Amino acid sequence: MTHTQKRIITNKIVMFLSTLSALVGISFLLWILSILVINGIDALSMTIFTNGGAPPGNENGGLKHALIGQLMLFAYASLFGVPLGILAGTYLSEYGLKSKLAETIRDISDIMMSAPSIVIGAFVYAIVVAPSGQFSGWAGSIALMIIMLPIILRTTDDMLQLVPSTLREAAFALGAPKYKVIIQVVYRGAKAGVLTGVLLGVARVAGETAPLLFTSFNDNFLNTDMSQPMASLTVTMYNYATSPYEDWQKLGWAAAFILSMFILTLNILGRLFLLKKRGK
């Protein structure tokens, strides 16, 4: 066998192996996705959205309590997390630039983005749950906000840096003060990018379960009082799936399906915004 033949054969083997591993990887992922869709659609019904939690064995159980709880936990986390993240990102991109302080904040945020979220839960337990003596919706929202913050901060920073500096200079030349330049020129130029960052940040946090286990805890009934334990889709999913009751497990799959569709929609929307921006 000549050297060339050997190279061609090696090439074929490696190409075969990597195509195979792509197939294996993708089929596993398709497996999970199809199970999610099949079980999810099977378990979906109108009563899921209109009925709250029920004891096992009761056919009329729904997820209304978890959906509303999830939305409230999120609304409050985003209400604080999104503006704070955008403002901090604005500092990095517009004032901090390449200073040592700004670079340190970038590095630490990058690390925090991959840090284990359950640890954030432990931290919030220590500063909110333990002093107040009970699990609460607020504690859950604070944990989610802490996880959301570095993601939004970093994407805002990156997206604002994409705005050409000539735009800023033109506005300065017209005599605009810096805050006006930022709000009216930089923010406007980076709108699609920042929005994408916010969508992806919210999507990332939407699937968080671990930090909610011992902050917002759970409640099998509808509760809208943020100072009380509160249900979320993710924790409900965990409790229902690990329960021995078949009807609860079914509701768990419905919750998994609803949550995944929500997260995938946010991700796809985020991508479309970016594509639209590039298309211009």
- Binding residues for other proteins restricted to 230-259, rule: CB under 8 A: 234, 237-238, 241-242, 249, 252-253, 256, 259
Q: Which of 84, 195, 222, 269 binds other proteins (CB under 8 A)?
A: 84
Smallest distance, Å, CB 32 to other proteins? 5
Rounded least distance, CB 62 to other proteins, Å = 19
Residues whose CB is less than 8 angstroms from the CB of residue 234 and which lie 6 or more positions away in sequence, other chains included: 70, 207, 208, 209, 212, 255, 259
Decide: is 115 part of the binding site for other proteins (CB under 8 A). yes
Q: Is 126 one of the binding residues for other proteins (CB under 8 A)?
A: yes
* Per rule CB under 8 A, count of chain residues that contact other proteins: 95
Q: Does 68 bind other proteins (CB under 8 A)?
A: no
**Interface stretch with other proteins, choices 44-52, 61-69, 70-78, 116-124 (CB under 8 A):** 116-124
Nearer to other proteins, 50 or 169 (CB): 169
User: Which part of the chain contacts other proteins (CB under 8 A), choosing from 16-24, 46-54, 56-64, 70-78?
Assistant: 16-24
Between CA 45 and CA 30 the distance in angstroms is 24
What residue type is assigned to position 106 of the chain? R
Rule CB under 8 A: say whether 71 interacts with other proteins.
no
Closest separation in Å from C-beta 50 to other proteins: 24
Q: Does 24 bind other proteins (CB under 8 A)?
A: yes
Question: Binding segment for other proteins among 24-32, 43-51, 52-60, 71-79 (CB under 8 A)?
Answer: 24-32
Question: Contact with other proteins (CB under 8 A): which of 41, 71, 111, 170?
Answer: 111
Min separation Cβ 53 and other proteins, Å: 18
Minimum CB distance to other proteins smaller for 46 or for 279 = 279
What residues have CB less than 8 Å from 250, skipping those under 6 apart?
A: 39, 42, 43
Binding other proteins (rule: CB under 8 A), the pick from 54, 122, 167, 222 is: 122
Please give, one letter per residue, the 3-state secondary structure of the chain.
Answer: CCHHHHHHHHHHHHHHHHHHHHHHHHHHHHHHHHHHHHHHHHHCCHHHHHCCCCCCCCCCCCCHHHHHHHHHHHHHHHHHHHHHHHHHHHHHHHHHCCCHHHHHHHHHHHHHHHCCHHHHHHHHHHHHHHHHCCCCHHHHHHHHHHHHHHHHHHHHHHHHHCCCHHHHHHHHHCCCCHHHHHHHHHHHHCHHHHHHHHHHHHHHHHCCCHHHHCCCCCCCCCCCCCCCCCCCHHHHHHHHHCCCCHHHHHHHHHHHHHHHHHHHHHHHHHHHHHHHHHHC
Q: First CA to last CA across the chain, in angstroms? A: 55
Establish if 153 lies at the interface with other proteins (CB under 8 A): yes
Determine, following the binding rule CB under 8 A, whether residue 167 of this chain makes contact with other proteins. Answer: no
Binders of other proteins in range 168-227 (CB under 8 A): 177-180, 182, 203-204, 206-210, 213-214, 217
Comparison of 60 and 165: residue with beta carbon closer to other proteins: 165
